[in-house]
Amino acid sequence: MKRTGLLILCFMLLLSCRSNPESIPEGTWKYDLFVNGVKAGYSTTVFDEKENLYITQNEMYLKIGTMENKTVQTVTETRDFKPVSLEIHNTIKDSASGLNHDMSKIASFQGNKVTLTSDGFESIIDIAHPFILDGNYFFKELAKSGFKKGTRIEAQIYEPSVEIDNTILVIVDVAGREKIKVGSSEMNLIHIKQRVEQLKIVDMYLNDEGVMEKAVIKMLNNIFELVRVQ
């Protein structure tokens, strides 16, 4: 009986010591990419802070059949999340047809003014309302709330792969802590739900340092999963 009481006490102490992330984690994280349950590629995220700027780079490689797709996106923003630049480079290859196509979109920002170069063509766009990039704003706002269950953050983001001359609404909710299986391990993680207009729904699971351990993305009648490589 005493041993049982001691185990319960130790368990409660561990729970009380668990802390939610307070700052954006810096580093490099690698993930296996699964499509409908089948491993089909990889993803790498790098976050760094340089000269009072946040720089986030995401690289994703996907291969389905003879088709290969590699996308590299780099987001640069100020420490108060004002957009500085956004670069998206995409390469599509098909070994069956010999297709080898490169596409790029590079945007720079001055307030609500966007200068976008898309595959060599330049456009200047004025957005009528404030916006952010799909970077670190949501994390910082959730951290302010202590990742409290029920917290909701909404913001308009600029994503030229979806809309060149307008923004899209992103809604982020804290669903609370959950025990889920990541690879062969069971982990107690913070569950974040993200909705991007009618385009996709993302369930993200963060550890106590704020690093994503797993993400489930529902889009275009497919389920994509990112599982962190330990």
Answer yes or no: pTM beyond 0.85.
Answer: yes
> 20: pLDDT confidence band, cut at 50, 70 and 90?
low
What mean pLDDT is predicted for residues 46-72?
Answer: 94
pLDDT-derived band at 14 (thresholds 50, 70, 90) equals very low
Could you list the beta-strand ranges (E) of the chain.
Answer: 27-35, 38-50, 53-64, 67-78, 83-94, 99-110, 113-118, 121-126, 152-157, 168-182, 185-196, 200-206, 212-219, 222-228
Query: 114 forms bridges with which residues in the sheet?
Result: 109, 125
pLDDT, greater one: 10 or 171: 171
**Is there a domain that residue 185 lies in?**
yes
> Domain containing 184: what range?
19-228
Q: In whole angstroms, what is the distance from residue 67 CA to residue 92 CA? A: 7
Residues 6 or more apart from 176 whose CB is under 8 A from it? Answer: 149, 190, 191
84/168 Cα distance (integer angstroms): 18
Of 16-30, 56-70, 146-160, 197-211, minimum mean pLDDT range: 16-30
Is it the case that residue 176 has pLDDT exceeding 70?
yes
Residue 141 maps to a domain: yes
* Mean pLDDT computed over 33-58: 95
Domain count, the chain: 1
Residue 15 has pLDDT above 80, yes or no: no
Average pLDDT estimate for 75-92: 96
**Sign of the dihedral defined by the CA atoms of residues 225, 207, 82, 198, in that order:** positive
pLDDT band, very low/low/confident/very high, at 68 (cuts 50, 70, 90)? very high
Would you say residue 100 lies in a domain?
Answer: yes
Task: Grade residue 21 by pLDDT with cuts at 50, 70 and 90.
Answer: confident
Q: What is the 3-class SS of 122-161, one letter each residue? A: EEEEECCCCCECCCCHHHHHHHHCCCCCCCEEEEEECCCC
- Mean confidence (pLDDT) of the chain: 89
Residue 21 is given by DSSP the state: -
Q: What is the rounded average pLDDT of the residues 148-155?
A: 96
- Mean pLDDT, range 57-65, rounded to an integer: 95
Does 198 score more than 70 pLDDT? yes
In a domain, 1, yes or no: no
pLDDT of residue 8 exceeding 70, the answer is no
Query: Which amino acid is located at 104 in the chain?
Result: S
202 has a pLDDT exceeding 50: yes
Whether 9 shows a pLDDT value over 80: the answer reads no
Specify the CATH number for the domain of residue 130: 2.50.20
Q: Please report whether residue 11 resides in a domain.
A: no
The confidence score (pLDDT) of residue 17 equals 40
- How far apart (Å, rounded) are the C-alpha atoms in residues 151 and 110? 31
Q: What is residue 197's predicted lDDT score, i.e. its pLDDT?
A: 84
- Find out whether 29 and 228 touch, Cβ atoms under 8 Å: yes
Parallel, antiparallel or unpaired: strands 83-94 and 99-110: antiparallel
Residues in the chain: 230
Q: What is the mean pLDDT of residues 174-202?
A: 93
Q: Is 213 part of a structural domain of the chain?
A: yes
Cβ atoms of residues 136 and 143 within 8 Å: no
In a domain, 14, yes or no: no
